[in-house]
Amino acid sequence: MAKSASDRRAKQETGKEEKKTLYELLRVSPSASQSEITKAYRNLALLLHPDKVVHRLEQQAEATSKGEGKAADLEELKSEATRHFQELQAAYEVLKDPKRRKRYDETGSTGDDAAESFEEAYEYYRRVFPEFNSADIDSYRQVYLESAEEVQDILDFCHRFDGDLTHFFEYIPFSDKEHLPRYLRILRDLVDTKKVKKNATFVETLKQLETQAEKYAALVEKESKQLTKKNA
């Protein structure tokens, strides 16, 4: 009987750690549907965007009094974060394509000898986000929502775009229109504590945030239907 992909990817000798799969890199089950894989990737792409990763590394460096976050090393940090982000994207490209995914499930190969780079990406994100080590994307969602990290992401977004909230739902991980009341509360608190400037752009786009939430929800639904139709 031919060995399954999971058997082929299993450790070959006692004490040798099993290689991480593309599913583990994307934090989804091997039985995940195409829409679940797309949803997981969408959220991971926001959580693990190079800008966010570099910011996290700089914070870690400051906390440990290391020099990794200094300006001289910034380009190197960005380069490494970008390289691993591209590996995350490559993993998604394999799993979102039914034919490539089937071949990967059957052979354990992506067809381009990239297994080692995916392994490196997994370990990299494991180091940068230790709290995300054993959680799948849905489990981490519960940790992230209403956390200090979510508030920090919203604050960073406001600073990065100078108060323009137009693309809020495309930037904040796990954003959904059902969370709009909480987002409004957080934004008001950030203004009240003078962490965010209440400029004209902020005021105007804040009024449109509910509309943006509806548009984003419609976009996600449309993409999901297109994916379902494509893979039918």
CB atoms within 10 A of CB 156: 15
Structure confidence at residue 232 as a pLDDT band (50, 70, 90): low
- The answer to whether residue 68 scores a pLDDT higher than 50 is no
Domain 20-126 bears CATH identifier 1.10.287.110: yes
Contact indicator for 19, 104 with CB cutoff of 8 Å: no
Query: What is the C-alpha separation between 199 and 127, in angstroms, rounded?
Result: 38
Domain ranges of the chain: 20-126, 139-229
Whole-number percent of the chain with pLDDT over 70: 78
Helices 50-63 + 115-128 axis angle, to 10: 50
Instruction: Convert the pLDDT of each residue in 196-225 to its tens digit.
Output: 999 999 999 999 999 999 988 887 777 767
Query: What is the C-alpha separation between 20 and 89, in angstroms, rounded?
Result: 16
Provide the 8-state DSSP code for 113: S
Mean per-residue pLDDT, 44-50: 85
Tell if the pTM clears 0.85, that is, is over it: no
Helices 180-192 + 200-207 axis angle, to 10: 160
Q: Find all residues with CB under 8 Å of 125, minimum gap 6, and list them.
A: 25, 48, 84, 88, 132
Instruction: Convert the pLDDT of each residue in 129-174 to its tens digit.
Output: 776 665 667 788 888 899 998 999 999 899 989 999 999 998 898 8
Helices 115-128 + 71-96 axis angle, to 10: 130
